[in-house]
Each structure stands twice: as structure tokens, then as C-alpha cells.
Structure 1
Amino acid sequence: MAYVLDSVVLENGERQVLINDDAGLPPLLPNLYFAQIHNQSYNTKTRRASTVVKLLNWAQDQKIDLLDRVKSGEGLEDFEQQALLIKMRYRATPTKDDLYVSADMFRDRCREILKFLSFLMRTFGNQRRERDKYIMRVQAWLYDLRDFLMSNHVRMPPYRREGFSHPERLAMLELIHPLNEKNPFQQRVRERNWLIINILFQTGIRVGELLSLRCNAVVKELDIQFGMLHFLVVNQNVYLDEDPRSRPPEAKTTSRKLPISEKLAERIDQYIRNGRRFRGRAAQRAAAFLFLNSDKSPAPLSIGGLYKILSRIESVGNAAKPVFSKIQAHRFRYSMMEELLRVLKGGESDKGGKEAEENWKQVLRYMGGWSPTSNQHELYTAKQIIFSAHLALLKVHEHLMVKYDK
């Protein structure tokens, strides 16, 4: 017998990961560790929990009482750390030609192990009188374990994340406009596709969040200063019982409300009243997800269906001459983040001081669905850096060369 990964459905319909032990009972501390995580989706927690399960099963195979080792501050011996390293390198189901996980997966596993052990350290430390001495002793071997694991991590060059260029965005919106004669899609799905691309460009939501949207996703709030505000509610997919898709989409983070323009809110409402109802009674009987596929008996749009739409746009747009670079769903997210960052920073990284910088970071974190302390937004700054460099060079030219160019 071994530790296994399970799940439980909460009262609000969301799922929570659950780890069961040999007797089929949920051990307290591993489950408490994941119960305190509120800003991540079920899929993300499942991926993280699989590493903890792997760690607990490894300790059981090695006849190591891992919780007692942390509680006593004893830690792991050198040969045990080496055995743990080997275990984390292997795939969950290795094959003859594919034994090991990728460098990124290995890094994520190492980080999760250290986070879980640090949680145990804090939990046991709060139960001790001499808390500080215990924390210092356990932190020492956790630092050693971190250095050992990370010294065996292959560091890959950072992936440069870039959105679409401005001409690409304009060309894409023009191509799929419902009234464009060159629109490559059937009349019954043109308004749907037009709305999908608009939502992706204007909100930067993830694919799972887009396909989990319900027909009541738009809400209004009256603000004294700004008047009527419109929001797009992004939730976890808690309607799995009525979702016929073989791979139901999942939001990566917890629920949040994304501000949208009044025009986009009107387009969504118009699509529900006209475009979606244009599909007939079959569409009305379908599950109340916002976007349906193009079948004669409509069902919620699948991830594969969305990718086919993007592939069709790319192939038709590049038929006569190259117009689009690779059209991938995540690049819409990059585009929105780049434009949002440009507006927030105004092209000057030091404008407004540290307080203003922290404010725009929090805006990016909220829009991206990241934690309040996440630095994920730094991966989306490639074009903003180029834009800032361009403005700086213009100032250099203005100060030094402009009088010679007359």
C-alpha cells in the first residue's frame, strides 16, 4: 500500500485535492498544507500534490519517517538525499526510451519538496518552546538540501514571451470581422469567433478560463465616481456534471472579476441574444457555457475546437503572403500584458517612484491571476523593455543630435 492522490467536492462545487494514506485515511499535515492554498486551481494543486505523494511514498519505501525527521530536526543523510534526487528525476510512468522528466519538471518538483518541508518546519516549530533554535537547525539542513537539489538542476535559457505585433492584431481583427467577405468561417459561427478573439485580446484570460465562461459571466456594478462598471467573472469550472467535453477546461487560478469595456460587455450580450440563439433550439438545450462548437447539435466548445479556429485564421491569413507569425492561444495573453504594462508605466520605468511601480505590479498580478507576491509579470516585459529603450534613444537624439539634423 502507498499514499494515493484523491479529491473531494466542496459545497460550492469546487474540487479540493486529497491525499490518502495506506489505510485510506487522509493524513492531517499533508492535507492541511494544500487546504491553506487558496489562489490556485484544482489542476495546479493536483500537479503539486503528485510531487508530495511521490515524496511520501519514497520515504515509505526507504523506511524513513519523514514527519518525525522534520519534527526532530534530524533531516536527511547524504545518501538519502542522493536517493531522493534519483527518485525525482524519474517520470511517474517511465518507458524504455523516456525515463526522465524535463528540466523544468525537475525544478518544480524540487521547489515543491522544499515548500512542503518548510511548511512542516513552521508547523512543528510553533509547538516548541525553543522555537528559534529549532527553526535555525531545520533551516540549515533545508538550505543544504536545496543547494544539493538545485546543483543538479540543468538551467535552461529563459523563454522570451512576446505577443502579436500591432499589424498582426489589426489584420487578425479585420480578417475575422463578421461582415468581412473574406472571413473563412461559416456565418453561424462568425460572431462567436469575433467575440473569442476580442475577449482574448482585451482580457488576456487563459484558454481554460475562456472555455469555462458561462452565459451569465458579465456583471455590472454602479460606482459613485466612475458610473456603471462592467466585469467578466472568471470562475473555476464547477459544472463538471453537465459538461460533456472529454477534457473539461479548468481555470488555473481561483475566481476573479476582470474589468472590461462597456463595448465588450455589449458584444457579449449581443452574441448571447443573437449569435448563440441563431443556432436554434439545439443551442438553447446545450449546457449554459458561453461558447458552443459548430456542430449541428451544439455542445460546449472544446480546447481542440479553439485550436482549430486559431489554426484556420493563421492558414487563411498567410495564404497570399506571410501576415501572421505562429498564432498560439497564450500569445493573446502576452499581447494584453504588454499593452497593459505600456499603459501603466507610460514608457518611463521610474515615473511615480516605488509606490507607483508597486501599484502597477499589483494590477498585472490581478489581471494575470497570479498571487500578490508573484514575479510572473517579469516574463512579459520583453517588448516593454524595447519600447522604453526606443524612447530613451529618442531623448538622446533630441539632446545631442537634433540641432545637426536641421
Structure 2
Amino acid sequence: MTLLDFPKIRMCLNSHLQKLNNDATRRKVNLTKRWSWCIKFLDYVLESLGKLEDDRWLDIRSQVKLLQTAYGNFSLDGRDKQPAPLRSLPSTVVSDLYDIFDPGSARNPFRSKRTRSRNYLIFLTLLQTGIRRSEMLLLYVDSVNAEFDDSAGRLISWVVLSDLDEDEKPKWLIDPRSPPPNLKNPIARRNLPISEELLAVHDEYLEARPTSNWPFLFLSQRGRPLSMRQVNEIFLMASSALSPDAVRTLRRQGKTNVQPHDLRHTCAVRRLVGYCPNGKLDEKAIEKLRVFFGWHEKSVMPMRYARAYFETESDTVRQDNYDNYVAAIRTVEHSS
């Protein structure tokens, strides 16, 4: 404690919180006050150290405040009424999915070259941008842009998330999908940087994309707009090709297969890790996450992911070799 090593302090707090939660559920008792006393004790110690130590304690206290906010509605009353945990996929699973979706892989379960190219782009888009499945299905052929940045000395690329206004839509353009994909809210309209890898895979897919009058980027083999159900089926098929080690890892998280939304969770938690290279979560990191994922200023989602960030401190996800994950996700952070 006196070393003011907050990452270690946070790991201790989180481990204790999980123990309290397990005890409350097993014994059917309310242990909320015990958790409150832990935070108050930490606050008291930091207040006392502040009179003796340097200004580091102010930074620690701000992080403790974030921790308190993230768990502000956490109740240890023995009843399972907490929202489902947000879990980042472990690097072993992510690496396995890269191998499965790779168009040239012998493990790829999809038949045609065109389908493999499309599905690889779907996987990379969801993993590297964290956009929702419905947002991805609203991407148009011209949604991805690239230009050379003289100041940076490199090509920069980005994807535009938007929907056509009613007055911009051709009269014949009536989405045949049920339910039709949509942007969740106006804030969801945004531009997101993408990696060079994602841009290259996008360009390769365009060469193989079926000829169609539909302007949507992702199409079925018959040239019709891809549906949310079809995306789900893609991930079910990919999940059936997972290695035994990856399956065991998923089962430890209570999962039997990978779903599209898991990649959004993975992107969010890993981006939060990237925004906190020294293990220090602050308001600036939370705001970056809010902007990137298109959440309203009053949305509780950033703090739910902050909780996921805290909770993965002591489980196998945070114990992953981060270099392995970076190797799997490759250049995504360089595009930010």
C-alpha cells in the first residue's frame, strides 16, 4: 500500500470483490457493506499518506474514484441481478480465429474463395473496429476511404459509419432484410481509423464481391444484402473449427461458441488497455472509449467496460501474453 502501486492495489480489491460476491451468492447474505468498508479504508489510508508522501496519492485517489464509479451500483446481497459480464476473448481464441478465418488456411470451413474473402473481412472489421453487427451490415461499397498523409508520411484509412437520409435514398432502395440493420442512435454516425491490414483485406474482397445493384458492402453468394442471421451462422461455423485448447478456454468463460458481439467486447477492453499503457485508468481513457464506440455522454456502457477492465486484472484474460495478442490483432493500434 505504501508504495502506491495502484495496479497491484486494484488487483487485490478485485480479487476480494470476487470473493465477497461468491460468498454472498453461496451464503445468501448481503455483503455490500463489507465492500463499502474496503473502499472507505483505502480512501482513509490514501488520505493519511497524502500528508507524508508526494503528489502521487492524488492520482491514486482519482483512480479509486473511477473504481468506485464503475462499481457504483454493485450489490453483494446474494441475488444474481447484476448485468451479464462483458468479457474480452483471450488471445488464444483470437489467434485461433485468425487462423480459421484466413482465406488460405486449411482450417477455413468456408467453401468458395469469395465467401472466404468476405468472411475474413467481416471478422477483421468486427475485431479491429468493435462496431456492432448491424452497423457493419450498413456499410456501403464506398464507406472505406484512404489518402496519403504528408505530415505523417504514410497512408491513412478510415471507415465511415452512417446511414442514408431518406431524401438521399433511391426510391427502389428498400432493405429486404428482416429485421433491417440500423444505427443505434445519431451518435453512432462516426469515422473510425482502420489498419493497413484491414484496408488491404477490404480491397481484396471488393475484387471478389458479387456484381450487384445493392450498394451494401457485404452481400450473400446470391448478391443480396447479408443479414444478421447469416452473420451469426458464419460465427457458428467458425466456432465449430476452434481448436480443443480454444474451446476449453471459452468454456472457462461459460461460453460454447464465439458470437459477433464478443469481438466488440474484445475490441473495447483491449482498446481500454491500449489507452492505459501504464495500467492507469483515468477519465481521459474513458472519454476516448466513449467517442470511439459512439456512446451518449449519459451512457453507462463506458463504465461497464471499465468494470470489465478491472475484473480481467485477476483472470486468465489479463494474464495473457500481451505480445501474443498484439501479434494477432496486428496493426490496429497504429491506425488510431
TM-score interval for Structure 1 and Structure 2 normalised by the shorter chain = 0.5 to 0.7
**How far has the Cα of 1:287 moved from its partner?**
0.3
Q: Which structure 1 segments of 5+ residues have no match?
A: 1-153, 277-282, 351-356, 395-406
Q: How does 1:7-406 map to 2 (within 5 A)?
A: 156-187=81-112, 188-221=114-147, 223=149, 225-227=151-153, 228-236=155-163, 238=165, 239=169, 241-254=173-186, 255-272=189-206, 274-276=207-209, 283-294=210-221, 297-317=222-242, 322=247, 324=250, 325=255, 326-349=257-280, 357-386=282-311, 388=313
Aligned in 2, Cα 1:321/1:349: closer, same or farther, shift over 3 Å?
closer
Which residue in 2 is equivalent to 1:142? none
Equivalent residue letter for 2:215: A
Shift of 1:275: 2.1
Q: Over residues 296-350 of structure 1, what are the superposed CA-to-partner deviations in whole Å (9 max), with x where a residue is unaligned?
A: x321100111011011111232689835443112111000011100011114226
Kept after mapping to 2: 8 A contact 1:201/1:333: yes
1:245 is matched by which residue type in structure 2?
A: R
* 1:205/1:237 CA distance change after superposition, 3 Å: farther
Tell me, in whole angstroms, the C-alpha distance in 1 between the residues paired with 2:201 and 2:296.
Answer: 30
Distance 1:168 1:267 in 2: 21
Q: Deviations over 1:169-218 (max 9, x none)?
A: 00011012100122110123001111100111100000110101001011
Cα deviation for residue 373 of structure 1 reads: 4.6
Query: Which has the larger Rg?
Result: 1
How big is the shift at 1:382? 4.3
User: What CA deviation, in whole Å up to 9, does each residue of 1:73-97 have, x standing for no partner?
Assistant: xxxxxxxxxxxxxxxxxxxxxxxxx
Q: Deviations over 1:236-277 (max 9, x none)?
A: 2555824222322111133100111122112212211x221x
Aligned to 1:229, what secondary structure does the other structure show? strand
Say whether the 8 Å CA contact 2:157–2:194 is kept in structure 1: yes
Identify if the C-alpha distance between structure 1 residues 174 and 241 changes in structure 2 by more than 3 Å, giving closer, same or farther: same
Measure the CA separation in 2 of the matches of 1:349 and 1:321. 30
Decide whether aligned partners of structure 1 residues 159 and 289 sit closer, same or farther in structure 2, where only a CA change above 3 A counts.
same
**Structure 1 residue 163 displacement after superposition:** 2.0
* TM-score with structure 2 setting the length: 0.60
Q: 357-366 or 236-245: which moved more?
A: 236-245
Give the direction of change, closer, same or farther, for the CA distance of 1:237–1:303 in structure 2 (3 Å limit).
farther
The unaligned stretches of length 5 or more in structure 2 are 1-78, 320-336
1:322 partner SS: helix
2:96–2:246 contact (8 Å) kept in structure 1: no
Change (3 A) 1:256 1:180: same
Residue 51 of structure 1 corresponds to which residue in structure 2?
A: none
Instruction: Evaluate the alpha carbon distance shift between residue 288 and residue 366 of structure 1 in structure 2; reply closer, same or farther with a 3 A threshold.
Output: same
Question: Counterpart amino acid of 2:144?
Answer: V
The size of the alignment, in residue pairs, is 223
More relative contact order in 1 or in 2 (CA 8 Å, sep 6+)? 2
Which residue identity lines up with residue 156 of structure 2 in the other structure? L
RMSD: 2.7
Partner amino acid, structure 1, of 2:201 = R
- Aligned-residue identity in percent: 28
Number of the residue aligned with 1:35: none
Distance 1:253 1:225, change over 3 A: farther
What one-letter code is carried by the residue in structure 1 that aligns with 2:191? K
> Which of structure 1's runs of 4+ aligned residues deviate more than 4 A?
221-224, 237-240, 318-321, 386-390
Is the strand fraction higher in 1 or 2? 1
* Counterpart residue number, 2:44: none
Query: Secondary structure of 1:317's match?
Result: coil
2:157 touches 2:193 (CA, 8 Å); kept in 1?
yes
Pairwise CA distance, 1:388: 4.8
Aligned to 1:23: none
**Equivalents in 1 of 2:236, 2:229: separation in Å?**
10
